Amino acid sequence: MSVIERKTKETDIKAELTLYGSKTVNIDTGIGFFDHMLTALAVHGGFGLTLTCKGDLYVDGHHTVEDCGIVLGKALAEELGDKSGIVRFGTAFIPMDEALSMCSVDVSGRPFLVCDAEFSDDRTGSFDNCLCEEFFRAFAFNAGITLHIKNMYGKNDHHKIESMFKACAYALKQATAKNSDGSTVSTKGVL
């Protein structure tokens, strides 16, 4: 289990992440829709996640969402250690009603994000839809992963965002799975 705590003047966050053990999920960020998305990420990714955040929501949700991405990314990096013995790559296409999203991940130690999504509305519940990309950027760069995520189509923003988070979950589940032979999938011999 990886435990990461981060306290700034804007947020106070604690996350406990387990990739290969407990599947307990308990999320409380103060932003209901974001809690729903992080819960979906953990449940569909097949990992345990307890995350609490007290953020400056009187300003807006930006610091909370971005900082949760930072903490969750650091927790994933710590949990994976030297990344030996994992499959490394994962890709998933996930539908949610009329929406379809794709995510492809390389757990490489080389952080990068390509996020392609357009939303019809500014918000879903109390979640600013523009923060979807901020979360994935903070997560990818702090986890040290290459993350490509695209909402291919859809009409309902809730469905679009949820299919993106679930696609990320399934791609990560695939990429972090253990190799049958325990080898490191790299021509360099290390990740």
> Would the pLDDT of 187 be above 80?
no
* Cα dihedral 108, 111, 114, 117 sign: positive
pLDDT (tens digit per residue) in 119-177? 999 999 999 999 999 999 999 999 999 999 999 999 999 999 999 999 999 999 999 99
User: Angle 44-170-101 (CA atoms, 0-180°, nearest 5)?
Assistant: 105
Mean pLDDT of the chain: 96
pLDDT (tens digit per residue) in 8-36? 999 999 999 999 988 999 999 999 999 99
User: Angle 91-134-40 (CA atoms, 0-180°, nearest 5)?
Assistant: 50
Residue range 81-85: average pLDDT? 92
> Would the pLDDT of 186 be above 90?
no
Quote the crossing angle between the two packed helices 157-175 and 32-45, to the nearest 10°. 30
Give dist(CA 159, CA 156) in Å, integer: 5
pLDDT for 139 equals 98
* Cα dihedral 110, 116, 122, 126 sign: negative
Within 10 angstroms of residue 110's Cβ, the number of other Cβ atoms is 10
Q: Going by DSSP bridges, is the β-strand pair 112-116/146-153 parallel, antiparallel, or unpaired?
A: parallel
Would you place residue 111 in the very low, low, confident or very high pLDDT band (cuts 50, 70, 90)? very high
Q: Taking Cα atoms as reference points, which of 94, 35, 48, 69 lies closest to residue 145?
A: 69
The better pLDDT of the pair 179, 183 is held by 179
Residue range 87-91: average pLDDT? 97
Q: Is 57 exposed, middle or buried (0-12, 13-18, 19+ CB in 10 A)?
A: middle
Phi, psi of 70 (to 5 degrees): -60, -50
Residue range 76-103: average pLDDT? 96
Give dist(CA 156, CA 148) in Å, integer: 21
Sheet-wide strand order for 48-55: 2-7, 11-18, 48-55, 25-28
* Residue ranges of domains in the chain, CATH in brackets: 2-175 (3.30.230.40)
